[in-house]
Structure 1
Amino acid sequence: MTGAPDRLLCSAEELAAEADRLLEFTRASAVEGGFGWLDNDGAVEERDLQLWITGRMTHVCALGHLLGKPGFLELVEHGVEALGENFHDDEFGGWYAAISPDGERPTGFAKEAYAHSFVILAASSAQLCQARGADDLLSDALAVHDHHFWDDAAGMTRESFSANWRSEEAYRGINANMHTVEAFLAAGDVTGDERLHHRAGRIVTRTIDGFARGNGWRIPEHFTPDWEPMLEHNRDDPAHPFRPYGSTIGHGLEWTRLTLATAASIGGPEWDWATPAAVALAERAIADGWAADGHDGFIYTTDWSGAPVTRARMHWVVTEALGAAWALHHVTGDARWPELFGQWWDYAKANLVDHERGSWHAELAPGNTPAAGTWSGKPDTYHAVQAMLLPRLPLTPSFASALAARPRS
């Protein structure tokens, strides 16, 4: 089954046009030193440059180049140069979390697994574009992760360190591990190193077949260094952009796709649990999150009984819902998933896609009007671009590798 757009109740032309529109919005984010945080009109805000945004946007630009869009190879190489020079810590290795708006000096000194995962992803995608410096960047990024972040005994990634790597945060998080899975799948596809796929598999197995299954398919997000769940973590900061309290609806949907992609990448009877687990994850997220307060849209978080906590609608949650529906249709053939894909895409067009100023609103209030409680502006286009590409691609390999393998017209 190919997951073709007509099976998902929307036209190939419509999805391609929206991807093109998002890619054009992306161009303006390139600034001296990396990629900046875009405001509602697509102008770069005067704020520190973030490693995670520069990594994501380098990856997005690689997708643009692999789609044949003019000018995107130069943007990819701009991102690779920024990661290799401006963000890189030449003294201790790894990458600073943030640098000044002019790209000249570090301002965020932590070494974060979450942001480092996007360096791996960016470098993997850039290598497929044959961008200058991509090979060295990918080699360095994988070596840094292997040396500092990967915990082989736990089969998971550590969270963050001080700039000199001597002080480690007493916290473990599912968000960083989720994006490490994405990065390992992409890097494994590019390099042919099966070890990376199997590391992704270890993370997925412990997170989904272990933590999620044991918690009614609501994924615990926050843990002690010994991987004991901290279910009450950040109760006083429930709308945190990266570490919110409770069950994060969008992560249940994102892990659905990643679980199926990991299982397909590795294969074998030991992954027979993956499809029913992915269905259970998605069903729990939909039951808890969709229109939970009487308004269309996915809420951000719930408590551990499924009651709404943060009722804002984040754009990335809908994009991951689209990805989950696409992946589940691809694997199961169940007709309900394309129907839901169509329903959620209609919702996105009506409420999230900004037809006047470009890109998607990052956040909506419970009544589906633009809001900025957690997110301001339109920081990057990573989630939305990927969602628009998914129905045109196979489940595996990962985005850039799949585009690179397509015959050129």
Structure 2
Amino acid sequence: MTDLDRLLDFAARSRLPDGFGYLGSDGRVLPGRPQETWIVARMTHVFGLAHLLGRPGAGELVRHGVDALRTGPLHDGEHGGWRSATDDDTKAAYVHAFVVLAGATATVAGVEGGRALLEEALAVWQRDFWDEDAGLAVEEWDRAWTRLSDYRGANANMHGVEATLAAADAVGDPALAARLRGQALRSAGRVVHGWARDRDWRLPEHFTAAWEPLPEYNRDRPADPFRPYGVTVGHQFEWARLCLHLRATLADPPGWLLEDAVALFDAATDRGWAADGEDGFPYTLDWADRPVVGARMHWALCEAVAAATVLAEVTGARRYRELADRWRAHGEARFADPATGSWHHELTPGGEPASGTWAGQPDAYHLAQMLLLDGRPVRGSLAAALR
């Protein structure tokens, strides 16, 4: 079975003098690859969770990540916010959601500088990404915040929900926490209770600036790591789980949060598992539930296990625990890499390591969260559950 301590030992090898880098399959930072804010932020978050567990040395790694995000090369001291990478000046919602998450986890963990990072990142999110009229976040600006992309995406909003729930657990201001949870509810309502429900639980990911779905988006680039064509099975599990974390924070949650989580989970399970005749979840399906990209992604399986784990905790239904155990065993048999202690990030449908979308084993976010959710109460954030 995958050991959390060994996974965190592997993750710690990503440390660079001014942040964290993208790990290859040999546990070394890939040479020549630019430093990326989403990697730095996700690793900071993971080490924050480890610090909450009392893991020796984790606190220093969180502080390193916090310092890198506050003053390192990815932070834009001139225009504010964070560049997507050292070679990419765009200001992306996806990236900033993870900076908010890192700041929130560091704050809950009591790490020096965590609250300052959270306050700065949350201010940028609220001012530059959150669209109050839409109840959703916009996608991407240029470095100077003067040009906004016409594209809108569900992926960034999914992580925006995760980040704002984590921030609500960390801010210490009841009114602000309630406002953040209200924003998360509005976003989940539009994406899950709106678009996904209206399409019989086939979740659209890509939209125009007016939030009109673009079902053919990236048909010519179906294996894109962040904006693939069609239905992304792992995201349906992720949204289902987030609906349950959101539900746990509300005094009087709407009934659809649980109902839609179950329906979205069931659709992903029934349509996704072995859709091409091989065990596992293909990366993407088309709108008729046929596999498009058959590669198996570790993160999608992790999110399936995590969603089943949370549904088992919330409902008490045995079938979710049985699915979580069966899928976890599949992951241990297929994805686990005994050489690193992590999981291969991508496999062929037959189970061989692949790199069509993901090279190496870049970070520990999905796998660490899957391991940590097991046996813990459902809260708005994993940091709050560990606290």
Same topology, TM > 0.5? yes
Alpha-carbon separation, structure 2, partners of 1:90 and 1:191: 24
1:311 aligns with 2:294: yes
Contact 1:42 1:358 in 2 (8 A): no
The corresponding residue for 1:324 is 307
- 1:177 counterpart SS class: helix
For residues 255-270 of structure 1, the aligned pairs below 5 Å read 255-268=239-252
Change (3 A) 1:397 1:209: closer
Q: Contact between 1:354 and 1:361, CA under 8 Å: does it hold in 2?
A: yes
Q: Which residue of 2 aligns with 1:349?
A: 332
Tell me how far 1:385 sits from its aligned partner: 0.2
TM-aligned CA deviation for residue 279 of structure 1: 1.0
Deviates more, 1:149-158 or 1:394-403: 394-403
Per mean C-alpha deviation after superposition, the further-off stretch among 171-180 and 332-341 is: 332-341
Structure 1: how far apart are the matches of 2:381 and 2:94? 19
TM-score (norm 2): 0.97
2:144 maps to what in 1? 164
Structure 1 position 191 matched with structure 2 position 171: yes
Letter in 2 for 1:263: R
- Mapping of residues 8-407 of structure 1, within 5 Å: 18-46=3-31, 47-86=33-72, 87-99=74-86, 107-192=87-172, 193-268=177-252, 271-404=254-387
Tell me how large the CA RMSD over aligned residues is: 1.0
With the length of structure 1 as denominator, give the TM-score of the two structures: 0.92
Q: Is the 8 A contact 2:306 2:373 kept in 1?
A: yes
Moved more, 187-196 or 42-51: 187-196
* SS, match of residue 392 in structure 1: coil
Q: How many residues align?
A: 381
Residue 179 of structure 1 deviates from its aligned partner by 0.2
1:346-405 per-position Cα deviation (integer Å, ceiling 9, x unaligned): 10000011112321100000111110000000010000000001013111141112212x
Shift of 1:132: 2.1
More off after superposition, 370-379 vs 388-397: 388-397
C-alpha separation in 2, matches of 1:317 and 1:170: 28
Deviates most, 305-314 or 286-295: 286-295
Instruction: Show the counterpart of 1:104.
Output: none
2:248–2:379 Cα contact (<8 Å) kept = yes
CA positional deviation for 1:52: 0.3
Indicate the SS of the match to 1:311.
strand
How far apart are the structure 1 equivalents of 2:372 and 2:114?
23
What is the DSSP-based 3-state SS (H/G/I as helix, E as strand, rest coil) of the residue aligned with 1:163?
Answer: coil
Deviations 1:265-288 (A, max 9, x none): 12415x111112111101111112
- Tell me the SS of whatever aligns to 1:108: coil
CA contact (8 A) 2:34 2:85 kept: yes
Whether contact under 8 Å (2:154, 2:205) holds in the other structure is yes
Which secondary structure state, in structure 2, belongs to the residue aligned with residue 366 of structure 1?
Answer: coil
**Is the contact between residue 230 and residue 287 of structure 2 (CA under 8 Å) also seen in structure 1?**
yes
Unaligned runs of 5+ in 2: none
Aligned 8 A contact 2:45 2:106 in 1: yes
SS at match of 2:292: strand
- Please tell me whether the aligned partners of residues 365 and 371 of structure 1 are also in contact (alpha carbons under 8 angstroms): yes
Aligned mates of 1:136, 1:334 — CA distance in 2 = 41
Report SS of the residue matched to 2:374. helix
Secondary structure of the equivalent of 2:64? helix
Deviation per CA, 1:287-312: give whole Å up to 9, x if none: 12111111111110000111110000
Percent same amino acid at aligned positions? 49
Q: Separation in 2 of the partners of 1:356 and 1:56?
A: 22
User: SS of 2:3's equivalent?
Assistant: helix
User: Residue type of the partner of 1:329?
Assistant: A
Distance 1:212 1:149 in 2: 22
Amino acid at match of 1:59: H
Measure, in 2, the Cα distance between the counterparts of 1:68 and 1:336: 33
**Deviations 1:313-369, CA, capped at 9 Å, x for gaps:** 000001100111012112222211111111101100000111123211000001111
2: CA distance, partners of 1:267 / 1:128: 22
Moved runs in structure 1, 4+ residues, more than 6 A?
Answer: none
